[in-house]
Structure 1
Amino acid sequence: MHRPAIPYIIDVEASGFGGTSYPIEIGVALDGGRRFCTLIKPAPSWTFWSEQAESVHGISRQQLATFGKPVPEVAALLNDMLAGYTLYTDGWVVDKPWLITLFHEAGQDMQFRVSMLDMILSEPQMALWHATKRQVQKEAHLVRHRASHDAWLVQETYRRTAALGAAARGTGAG
């Protein structure tokens, strides 16, 4: 396994915002512009639904029932694709528990790690982060709040802030 030059980013959309919510979509930004995204068919015991969350991500229960993959299949796909890697998220406090919920329900061990994005950001990147992310959003014309878009947005912001931070260090600024 190689270590990617740009970190792999994972994002999770969920049925709501509280402790009884569960994952409904997983998006991953990989290397070379590759992306992975899948909807998740809720397990029978996953019943909580927030209309407010649906208004943010735009995914309906009907879409999940029609197009979602079963929980064990999603967990297996993620493990097959990501085993041994560390993925990063800007929403660790919610994404990590939702991934734990997914793998627990699937009865599988997660074979990759998930860490906070802040762990790999330099101070120059942090200083540039919000303005750069807004610029990337504007250029990409992203209108849907979906997992693969969000993962790509974070990865592209990381890439640009790393380059800008390196350039600033090279000129003596920063």
Structure 2
Amino acid sequence: MSETLPTVLDIEASGFGRGSYPIEVGIARADGSCCAFLIQPLDEWTHWDPKAELLHGISRDRLYQEGHPVRQVAQWLNDELSGLGKAYSDSWGYDNTWLSLLFHHAGMLPRFRLEALRILLSEEQQAIWSGTKEAMITEVDIHRHRAGEDARLLQLTYQRTRNVIRGA
């Protein structure tokens, strides 16, 4: 019996805190496929943290060359997620802030809600989450700190913790 996986959204950003903005958004769909888009920074988005770049490996120049316009990314998210009504994030506080910024600058409203992934987790799942996630990182060839692949990692960790708890 295969159950539907939650759709997970992840955002990489120019840094943390005041002035930071989204630079990549990715989703892992319920069928396990994932997709991500780099985002072209707007002129007023000037904050850049070199430590964040070391983590995600995305340069500002690359965003200008390969990134998609803010409005196009917001439209893609609405197209992907409006039918579901919601997606989940493990860093809701940050991701929701960056998502709001993206939609604000796109001049659009999101047609879905972003919710904290932890609301789907039982206490037992939460207890084994970190260890399971670390195991998944070593088992699965995932490029960490890229939005689509991080979303898929979270989805796989959710699935593994659920299966362990159920004894599957």
TM-score range, shorter chain: over 0.9
Aligned-partner Cα distance in 2 for 1:132–1:144: 15
Aligned-partner Cα distance in 1 for 2:112–2:19: 24
Match of 2:125 in 1: 125
1:95-139 per-residue CA deviation (whole Å, 9 max, x = no partner) reads 000000000000000111101111110111111111111111001
Larger Rg: 1
CA contact (8 A) 2:8 2:29 kept: yes
Number of residue pairs aligned between Structure 1 and Structure 2: 165
Aligned-partner Cα distance in 1 for 2:30–2:143: 23
Match of 1:25 in 2: 24
Structure 2: which 5+ residue stretches go unaligned?
none
Aligned-partner Cα distance in 2 for 1:137–1:8: 19
Q: Could you tell me the percent identity over the aligned residues?
A: 46
Amino acid at match of 2:118: D
Match of 2:109 in 1: 109
Match of 1:76 in 2: 75
Displacement after TM superposition at 1:149 (Å): 1.1
1:2-34 per-residue CA deviation (whole Å, 9 max, x = no partner) reads xx8110000000001112100000010002221
Displacement after TM superposition at 1:142 (Å): 2.9
CA contact (8 A) 1:40 1:70 kept: yes
Structure 1: which 5+ residue stretches go unaligned?
169-174
CA RMSD of aligned residues (A): 1.3
Match of 2:142 in 1: 142
Aligned-partner Cα distance in 1 for 2:36–2:60: 17
Matches within 5 A, 1:30-45: 30-45=29-44
